[in-house]
């Protein structure tokens, strides 16, 4: 019998639904929320309202594109957390209602596990290399910067993580300081391609072990900019490409130096990257350079699977479903949860 999983993701500002049949992705629908752009960041109340409007059409569209009817579903997988509570509640409540009405099991998915297992999303008629266990995954998003040792589909250990801001948060905040718009990541990425990464230097954190810190860099960026602006009020306009390139290079350097350390200490050459910031071209290039220099086998997700999507929730739910790892109806959403 076929195993067909509906995945639902609503942890932040993307409402998404996906259908996976026997481990193969049939559809992945994502509705982004433009409403936050005017505020320069995600407004939680507006996010949950938008999820409420989007969830039914998005799920219907995912089923339609997959050519699957509700009564063919084996289970509903949903993001339990971490994320914004109001946003999570929309997906969790919807999944509960759906599973109850169809009398099928529910599978709760940790959003962070989902990002890591995005590397196992299989598209029809496509062979993509998948990481072999154990592998390391650099998970970098707007809310997380972690180095994870992935031992199996279900066993993951966080070896290092940020003690303050996440890498994506640092990029977004620096971009806001430059008046570039939100989210800053893709804008900084675009500008950086035309800039000199060595034009400016910013403070790098000196933290022992495998942890990260990005708040000092953010302050260093802000203070340097203030000094330059005293000399030239149009400094940002004149130097935005170099500023973006230097900021990106600093962040990539911080991320890769700790990852190198872990890879060496654990003697692992299977190295993956995941999360929104893995869309960054500078980071992707750094991965390719490390593969060539250190013999790493690298795994970089397709652009569509870097940011929040339900395909990664559905595939994670699929693996849990095969283990009969279902969750009870009473399970609440969790805004804070680690791997
Ligand atoms: O994983 P994600 O979609 O959301 C969560 O935080 O869960 O990640 C969003 C983050 C934002 O900080 C955004 O600016 C960053 O990913 N981002 C990028 C790029 N695309 C998205 N950062 C750098 N370069 C990019 N191309």
What does the pLDDT look like over 69-94, one tens digit per residue?
999 999 999 999 999 999 999 999 99
Strand arrangement, sheet containing 75-81: 24-32, 14-21, 4-9, 75-81, 106-110
> What's the predicted TM-score (pTM) here?
0.94
The CA distance from 171 to 165, in Å, is 10
Q: Whose CA is nearest to atom 14 of ligand 1?
A: 185
The atom of ligand 1 lying closest to the CA of 12 is 7
* 3-class secondary structure, 85: helix
**241-275 residue pLDDT tens:** 999 999 999 999 999 999 999 999 999 999 999 99
**161-212 residue pLDDT tens:** 999 999 999 999 999 999 998 889 999 999 999 999 999 999 999 899 999 9
Q: What is the 3 CA–ligand 1 centroid distance (Å)?
A: 32
Sign, CA torsion 29/165/222/216 = negative
For residue 38, pLDDT over 80 is answered with no
pLDDT reported for residue 42: 84
The atom of ligand 1 lying closest to the CA of 279 is 26
Domains and CATH numbers, the chain: 4-126+305-322 (3.30.420.40), 135-302 (3.30.420.40)
Contact 67, 26 (CB under 8 A): yes
The atom of ligand 1 lying closest to the CA of 168 is 12
**121-135 residue pLDDT tens:** 999 988 889 999 999
Contact 164, 213 (CB under 8 A): yes
From residue 114, how far is each of 117, 167, 211, 250, 274 by CA, in Å? 5, 19, 22, 27, 10
Confidence bin at 40 (pLDDT 50/70/90): confident
With a 6 Å cutoff on the Cβ, whether 307 touches ligand 1 is yes
Residue numbers belonging to the annotated binding site: 111, 115, 139-143, 172, 185, 189, 280, 308
Strand arrangement, sheet containing 135-140: 156-161, 145-150, 135-140, 270-274, 297-299
* 3-class secondary structure, 318: helix
From residue 56, how far is each of 14, 29, 62, 314 by CA, in Å? 14, 12, 10, 17
Q: What is the 184 CA–ligand 1 centroid distance (Å)?
A: 8
* 3-class secondary structure, 124: coil
With a 6 Å cutoff on the Cβ, whether 10 touches ligand 1 is no
């Amino acid at each position: 019998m076929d195993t067909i999983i509906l995945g639902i993701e609503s942890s932040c500002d993307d409402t998404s639904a996906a259908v996976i049949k026997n481990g193969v992705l049939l559809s992945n629908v994502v509705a982004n929320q433009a409403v936050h752009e005017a505020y320069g960041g995600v407004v939680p109340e507006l996010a949950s309202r938008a999820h409420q409007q989007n969830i039914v059409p998005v799920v219907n569209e995912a089923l339609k594109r997959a050519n699957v009817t509700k009564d063919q579903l084996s289970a509903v997988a949903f993001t339990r957390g971490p994320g914004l509570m109001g946003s999570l509640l929309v997906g969790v409540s919807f999944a509960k209602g759906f599973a109850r009405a169809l009398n099928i099991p529910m599978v709760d998915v940790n959003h962070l596990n989902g990002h890591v297992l995005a590397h196992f999303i299989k598209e029809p008629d496509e062979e993509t290399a998948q990481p072999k266990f154990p592998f390391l995954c650099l998970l970098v998003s707007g809310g997380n910067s972690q180095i994870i040792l992935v031992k199996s589909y279900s066993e993951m250990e966080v070896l290092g993580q940020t003690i303050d801001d996440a890498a994506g948060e640092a990029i977004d905040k620096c971009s806001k300081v430059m008046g570039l718009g939100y989210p800053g990541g893709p804008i900084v990425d675009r500008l950086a391609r035309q800039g000199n990464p060595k034009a400016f230097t910013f403070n790098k954190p000196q933290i022992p072990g495998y942890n990260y810190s990005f708040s000092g860099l953010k302050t260093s960026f802000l203070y340097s900019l203030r000094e330059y602006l005293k000399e030239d009020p149009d400094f940002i306009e004149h130097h935005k490409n170099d500023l973006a390139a230097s900021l990106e290079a600093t962040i990539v350097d911080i991320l890769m130096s700790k990852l190198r350390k872990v890879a060496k200490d654990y003697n692992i050459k299977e190295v993956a990257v995941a999360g929104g910031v893995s869309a960054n071209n500078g980071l992707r290039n750094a991965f390719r350079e490390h593969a060539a220099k250190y013999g790493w086998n690298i795994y970089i997700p397709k652009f569509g699977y870097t940011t929040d999507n339900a395909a990664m929730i559905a595939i994670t739910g699929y693996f849990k479903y095969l283990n009969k790892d279902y969750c009870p109806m009473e399970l609440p959403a969790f805004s804070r949860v680690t791997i």
